[in-house]
Amino acid sequence: MNIFRISLATLLIITFFSNAAYNDDTSGFRKNKPSSERFHQTLDEHEKLHLIFMREEEKLARDVYIKLSMLYPNSNVFGKIAASESRHTCKVCDTLKRFSIEDPIVNDNVGVFSSKEFGDYFTEKYHELTNIGVSSELDALYVGALIEEFDMIDIKTCPEVMIERIDSIKNSSDCGLVYTNNRVINSLYENLIDGSENHLRAFVSKIENYIGEGAYQAQVASQEDVDTILGR
């Protein structure tokens, strides 16, 4: 357990999935729409780029879980959630096609991320996460829970890497669920969040088989939000 905590602290220091604008002042994953209602079927660049990001982030989750399922074949949680993440990344791909956006994934092999926008970022995260997960099954389960917490945050708001790399994106409210009022994207993102909540509950259930019922502490989301998801 100490090994995991040290590894996780190191990972967070180097800004793994960092999202500086997410804090406890927001009410979890509640939508906070801009005042202008923009129900439309065309997307602006921020919406397009966030969809591209989410296509790869869902693939990242899938790929990490596939790798962990190979390391821990007696734990079926990784394989089951990998299958779910595969459906999620395909749903994002379908949405990209609906809006005539080029799919950033040209090679669907595990651990391969080649998009010009974020390929290097996701390649680095894949190796960081799997390197932590090899330590023990408990570490791997914590990695799964960490991914799901971050996934919900990144769906809701602009990830820090997008703010850093895209000149027109200035803060966390410039993309994601808090930004768009497109009905198609809203529905997609809300379904992805529902899936991540289910996955988080599954991972926490397994984690607490090791550490005791009710002992899981939120890793990056607020404890209040995580407790709500867990029904506590």
pLDDT per residue over 91-116, tens digit each? 999 999 999 999 999 999 999 998 99
Helices and strands: H and E segment counts in the chain? 8, 0
**Do the Cβ atoms of 152 and 195 come closer than 8 Å?**
no
Q: Minimal CA–CA distance to 93: which of 148, 64, 51, 57? A: 51
Give the residue-averaged pLDDT of 54-65: 98
Domain boundaries, the chain: 2-6+43-230
Give the residue-averaged pLDDT of 126-146: 98
Main-chain dihedrals φ then ψ at residue 40, nearest 5 degrees:
-150, 170
102 DSSP 8-state letter: P
Share of the chain above pLDDT 90, in %: 81
Rounded to the nearest angstrom, the gap between the alpha carbon of residue 89 and the centroid of all alpha carbons in its chain is 11
Superfamily of domain 2-6+43-230: Ferritin, core subunit, four-helix bundle (1.20.1260.10)
- What mean pLDDT value characterizes the chain? 88
Model-level pTM? Answer: 0.84
The rounded distance, in Å, linking the Cα atoms of 153 and 159 is 8
174 DSSP 8-state letter: G
